[in-house]
Homo-oligomer: A and B are copies of this chain.
Amino acid sequence: MEARQNEAIIDCDIHNVVPAAETLFPYLPEHWRDYMSRSDFKGPVENYYPAGAATSARPDATPPTGGPPGSDLALTRAQALEAWGTEYGILNCAYAIECVHNPYGAAALASAVNDWQIAAWLEPEPRLRASLVVPSQHPDLAAREIDRLGGHPGFVQVFLPVRSAALYGNRRYHSIYEAATRHNLAIGIHFGGVPGNPPTPSGWPSYYIEEYAGMAQVFQSQVISLIVEGVFDQFPTLRVAIIESGFTWLPSLMWRLDKEWKGLRREVPWVKRRPSEYIRDHIRLTIQPIDAPPDPHHLQQIIEQLGSDELLMFSTDYPHWHFDSPADAFPAGLPAALERKIKSENARAFYRLEARGPRDAEVHG
C-alpha cells in the first residue's frame, strides 16, 4: 500500500528499545547508577522477542550505528514514520520491568525509561506519542509513576504486558486504572511479559512457537477477567487497547462470553450488560500481526462479525517482521469508510489525538 495523498495514518504500535543499561544512567538516581555499575544487575535480563526469531525484527531494522532494532530514532523515522506518511506513531517500549524482583529498583528503572522516552523520542519527534512503562507487579508504585508523568502531553497510554502474575481484572490492579483514568490515559495491554509464571494454563511450553501462537489465549483470559471483575463498571471512562494480539479470535470470545453470562450472571451482578457491549465500548485492537486466514473473504467475514467498525486500529508493529511490503500490512477488500476508520479515525478517537493532515505536520516529509 502506498500512502495516498491526504490519507491519514496513525500507527498504534511502534517499538522503541532501550539499547543498553547505561542508556538509562542519566535518568537514574546515584544509588542505582552505582549499584548497576558495581554489580551484575543491569535491569531486566529477558525480553519479549528472542533475537533471531523470524518474527522479532525485519532484516533491515538493525541500526548501522549498532544497537538493537528499534533503538535508533533516525531509522524509526525513516522506516516507520516516513515510509507510511504517518501522522502519529504510538511507542510501546516493551522493557520487561515486570521481571525485576527488587520493587524500588523496578520503580526507578521504569521512571528512567520514561524520562529517556521523553528526552530521546518525544521531544525530538512531535509525531510520536508514548506509553508509560510502569512496575505493574507493584500497582501502588505503578500508580505513583502514572501520577508523576500522566500530565505530560506525550504520554497517551499505560503499558501492561499481557502475561502477568494475576489476571488484570483482579482488585489488586485497580489503583492502576484509577490513576490512568485520572489522567485520561488509555491502558495498553501488549504481547509478551516476563512475570515468572508460565504462559499457558498447563505450565511451560517447550518451544517459542507455542508461546508466540498461544499469546492469543493469554489476551482472551485478560479480556474475560477485565469484564467479569467489573473493571469497566468501576471505571466507566477506561479505554483498553489490546496490542499485537491478533483479533480473529474476538468474535468467538464475544459469543461465548455473552452466552455463558446469560446462564451464570448471578454470581457477577455488577456485569449489567452483555460482555460484548463492554468490549465494543471500551476495547480496541491493533491489526498487526494479523492472525489472518489464507482466504481474504474469511477475514472480511470476521471483521463483519466484530459487530462494530470502531474496534480495529492500524499498526505496523515496527521493527517486528510480519509483512514484506506495506501492501501486505492492511486487510484487502474493505469498504473505504472502514479503511479510514482503521487507518486513523478509530485511533484518533481512542487516544484523543488532535487531527492534523499528514501534510500539515511541519516535521513531516
Contacts and interface: CB of A to CB of B under 8 A. Distances in A.
Q: Which of A54, A209, A289 has the most CB of B within 10 A?
A: A209
A224 interface: yes
Interface string A187-216: 000000001011111111111111011101
Interface string A226-264: 001100000000000000001011011101111111011
A166 B165 CA distance: 18
Nearest to A53: B264
Interface in A298-355: 298, 301-302, 305, 321
A55 B256 CA distance: 13
Interface in A267-301: 267-268, 289, 291-294, 298, 301
Nearest to A211: B224
A228 B212 CA distance: 12
B216 A256 contact: yes
Contacts of A164: 202
A170 B206 contact: yes
A57 to B, nearest CB: 12
A222 interface: yes
Given A200-B201, A202-B168, A228-B209, A293 B221 contact: no
Interface in A121-172: 163-170
Contacts of A267: 207-209
A246 B229 CA distance: 23
A201 B258 CA distance: 22
Given A205-B221, A213-B256, 11 more contacts: A167-B205, A167-B206, A167-B210, A207-B229, A209-B260, A212-B264, A217-B218, A249-B256, A255-B298, A256-B291, A263-B321
